[in-house]
A and B are shown apart, each in its own frame.
Chain A
Amino acid sequence: MSVEIKTAEITPIRQTYGHTKRRFGDKPATRYQEASFDIQPTTNFHYRPMFDEHHELYDTGYTALVMEDWYAFSDPRQFYYGAWVAARAKLQENTESSFAFFEKRGLGARLNDDVRRLLTRCLLPLRHAEMGANMNNVGIAANAYGTTLSQAHMYHGMDRLAVAQYLSRIGLLIDESPGALLAEAKTLWMEEAAWQGVRRYVEDSLVVEDWAELSLAQNLIFDGLLYPFLLESLDARLMEIDGGDIAILTDFMGDWFKDGSRFIDALFKTLAGESEANRVQLTRWVAHWRSRAVEALTPVAIDADIELDAALAVLDKRLAKLGLLETH
């Protein structure tokens, strides 16, 4: 049996907005579709930017890649603001209860010095790298053409600020005098030889002008190597020295990385799939940034007594799947 509530029937005169209809057909649209496709201004711009007279305010020329339709990219997560913030609130709630659990059990005090030292030397300096990732993704959101591309990078950028903040909280939580380990980690970031490759990589990425190259250098290559390194190799090393409890605090990074990778894979699949010229350009960038990322992270891995190979294998498998790894 079904219960039927009667409401007055009023026939709509259209199903969705005109631009949405032209793209997806004359039928009710999803919230992602209505909020994301074809809403960026495209023409009749009044003034050239004072800071860049070679471009229009919104310009496809902020990358060397060419797309017939910049809305060919669609976020597999279908994140518009409301969907993103709901998903992240859930992540936040889970993470909050993990942190509370860690604290309630007094697990921070039980950590041995080797664990604390490894985290300080290997994990905490990354909060600065995450700030760089935040800046890069927000900058891409400003320059990338079309709302689907722009907004996904914006969410990704704010996610990175959150990661940096959670890493800071981990630093406070495992510290007997809160703030001291973070200060030590910042000194490592600024001065320690093992970290200078990563810091140089991040600073060099901050001056990359082509947003697609930047997204590749940051989101595909650097993160694609760093996160498997943290989530698999560092985690295993922590287990060996009796620091497995830390996984309670870093677990969210695994969930976040998996979720973000869906977007990044779809992005580069779309960009590379458009044309041979795009694929060649992307492959060239991959060759350049992949070797730089390996070079940058190797001393950090050596310092922590961890092999980088396993993480590199994960990255290479991903790149091969995207058809972006040079095989000669």
Chain B
Amino acid sequence: MNAKTSKRLNMKERYRIMTRDLGWEPSYQRYEDIFPQEGFEGIKITDWDQWEDPFRLTMDNYWKFQAEKERKLYAIFDAVSQNNGQMKISDPRYLNAVKLFITAVTPLEYNAYKGYARVGRQFGGVGARIACQMQSIDELRHTQTQIHAMSHYNKYFGGMHDFPHMFDRVWYLSVPKSFFEDASTAGPFEFLTAISFSFEYVLTNLLFLPFMSGAAYNGDMNTVTFGFSAQSDEARHMTLGLEIIKFILEQHEDNVPIVQQWLDKWLWRGYRLLSIVGMMMDYMLPNKVMSWAEAWTMYYEEAGGALFKELERYGIRPPKYADQTVIGKDHVSHQAWFIFYQYGHATAFNTWVPTAQEMDWLSEKYPDTFDRLYRPRFELLAEKAARGERFYNDALPQLCQVCQIPLAITEPDDDTLLSHRDTVHDGERYHFCSDGCRDIFHHEPEKYVQAWLPVHQILQGNCGGADMEKVIGDYYRIEMGEDNLDFEGSAEQRRWAAWKQAV
């Protein structure tokens, strides 16, 4: 850096010269033609100069820091590959969390890369544009380092081999896919509210960290090293999330109700999506980090509560239906695992009944619900499996039109009754899992009627015909007996036992 000039220019002024001073007022083309997406959501921006840069990073420093992080990360990947690092994992059932991650989360990182590239071009404010561009390349980094982190495991375990293909087709992956595409097809301000604020700022500790901590607790060196390496990127993304929300709210009071509606929508959307993380934490990690209910209490109710308190001065109230998430935290992971267990022939990972010891842990973590509602169910399933009648459900479930999760989640005020809502729009009846999802539909029916619902598509013959084995094998590319079914008796279990003899 130039010592002489930095004496005369302070850091803030210097950064201004390196970023927003590069922009100019166009006169040969109209502003709204250069930035055509900025206006259509109704968000009023009176002055982009009010944008506070959430981090001040010039490209030279970005390259320097990131290259150093990449160098260290890839050194670990190489070491794991050289030393059969996959055999250091706690229990082969853990790998199923990795399979879920690469099929459900890695493609979201890719969508984030593309989405931030779009917004990083579309915002009229230079400072906001550059912050989004940096997040865009970070998201590309995460996509690619995750692919490389799991590349080694893919050579030894099932379920990861066709993640992009599966993401576009497999029934449960339409939950994360539709979630992100909902954000990506929205305007730039809603995209940032959805992903930067609701997802990255409010919920990141409930998505990113459970997977990374799960990796740390279960001997997965590649994933946990990726997690540490991505931590400083995530911290930057969180500051962008907070800045965007404050910026929009401070720009104009007319923005407040629009943002409020987005916060209501995206908390509920995010909460439903995180059902799969809850299930991963409570059921798929052999060495547990914490329960889903504990995580929700700590990261949403406590941390999120304080945050929404802070936003009150802008006229923002806590998201609608937040109280239902608090009731649901004691149920959702159990109900989700039961869904996957019964459709375990159509999943790209193994499923199982928790061991007796694991059920005791669940009883302890869920004193009000597990023994009363879920233990009897899993004990019955275990008995049936022991008799050679492992339960698979061949009937296709009704999916929620918005979150696309099967309607197998209970009512907030009656945990013995499945929650089911419906509405008629343009002569067609649509089904929902909850009031939250039905509200989202009502606000933009023209968007949600377009949803690609996996079950409807199968029944319409768009997924390779009427034969479910063909749908699963040919259309999904889930290899029967290799990628799916119960862990007990699986190819995965057999191979692991044989490899353990060798190392």
B410 in contact (CB, < 8 A): no
Tell whether, in the assembled complex, residue B66 and residue A57 are in contact, meaning their CB atoms are under 8 Å apart. Answer: no
Please indicate the chain A residues that have their CB under 8 angstroms from the CB of B60 in the complex: 92, 95-96, 162, 165-166
Known: A41-B168, A92-B60, A169-B2. A10 touches B107 (CB 8 A): no
Of A17, A155, A157, A182, the residue contacting B154 (CB under 8 A) is A17
State whether A13 touches B156 (Cβ < 8 A): yes
A158 to B131, CA, bound (A): 12
A40 near B164: Cβ-Cβ < 8 Å: yes
Given contacts A34-B148, A154-B137, are A46 and B187 in contact (CB under 8 A)?
no
Interface residue tally on B, bucketed by range: 35 or more
A92 to B65, CA, bound (A): 11
| B67: A residues at CB distance < 8 A | 85-86, 88-89
Q: Least Cβ distance of A74 to chain B in Å?
A: 16
Q: Which residues of A contact B23 (CB under 8 A)?
A: 128, 131
Contact A150–B114 (Cβ < 8 Å): yes
Chain A residues with CB under 8 Å of B424's CB are none
What 0/1 pattern do residues 13 to 24 of A give for CB contact below 8 A with B?
Answer: 111111100000
Q: Taking the nearest CB of chain B, how far is it from the CB of A185, in angstroms?
A: 11
Contact A142 B121, CB 8 Å, known A13-B495, A48-B450, A203-B34: yes
B185 at the interface (CB under 8 A from A): yes
Q: Judging by beta carbons under 8 Å apart, are A203 and B29 in contact?
A: yes
Partner of B71, one of A19, A44, A86: A86
Contact A18:B452 (CB < 8 A) given known A46-B182, A169-B2, A173-B5: no
Closest CB in chain B relative to A317 CB, distance in Å: 30
Q: Which stretch in A133-141, A262-270, A275-283 binds the other chain? A: A133-141
Asked if A76 is at the interface of the complex by the 8 Å CB criterion, the answer is no
- The answer to whether B164 and A103 have CB atoms under 8 Å apart is no
The 0/1 profile, CB within 8 Å of A marked 1, for residues 132-145 of chain B is: 01001100110111
With A51-B36, A85-B66, A169-B2: A178-B137 Cβ-Cβ less than 8 Å: no
**Distance in Å: Cβ of A143 to nearest Cβ of chain B:** 8
Check: A75 CB closer than 8 A to any chain B CB.
no
Docked pose: A168 CA to B1 CA in angstroms: 12
Q: How many whole Å from A193's CB to the nearest CB in chain B? A: 14
A201 to chain B, nearest CB (A): 9
Kindly state whether residue B64 has any CB partner on chain A within 8 Å: yes
The proximity string for B residues 53-82 relative to A, scoring 1 for CB distances below 8 Å and 0 otherwise, is 000001110011011101101100000001
Residue of A nearest to B178 (CB): A46
The answer to the question of B416 belonging to the interface, with a C-beta cut-off of 8 Å to chain A, is: no
Residues of A within 8 A of B161 (CB): 14, 17-18
Given the known A-B contacts A35-B148, A39-B147, A89-B63, are A47 and B9 also in contact in the complex, defined by CB atoms under 8 Å? no
Nearest Cβ on chain A to B23's Cβ, whole angstroms: 6
Q: Verify if B485 is at the interface (C-beta below 8 Å from A).
A: no
Q: Does A80 contact B (CB under 8 A)?
A: yes
A46 with B145: CB separation less than 8 A: no
Interface 1/0s, chain A 167-182, versus B by CB < 8 A? 0110011010111001
Whether B358 sits at the interface, judged by CB under 8 Å, is no
- A192 on interface, CB distance cutoff 8 Å: no
Q: How far is the CB of B479 from chain A (nearest CB, A)?
A: 10
- B155 neighbours in A (Cβ, 8 Å): 12-16
Segment at the interface with A among B14-22, B282-290, B337-345, B389-397: B14-22
Q: Determine whether A247 belongs to the interface, using a CB cutoff of 8 Å to chain B.
A: no
Contact with A along B294-309 (1 / 0, CB 8 A): 0000000000000000
**Contacting pair A44 B452 (CB below 8 A):** yes
Q: Is the CB of B17 within 8 A of A182?
A: yes
B334 within 8 A of A: no
Report the Cα distance A157→B491, complex, angstroms: 46
User: 17 pairs across A/B with beta carbons < 8 Å?
Assistant: A8-B84, A10-B87, A40-B114, A41-B110, A47-B447, A47-B450, A51-B187, A82-B144, A85-B70, A88-B63, A141-B117, A158-B133, A172-B2, A172-B9, A173-B5, A179-B9, A186-B21
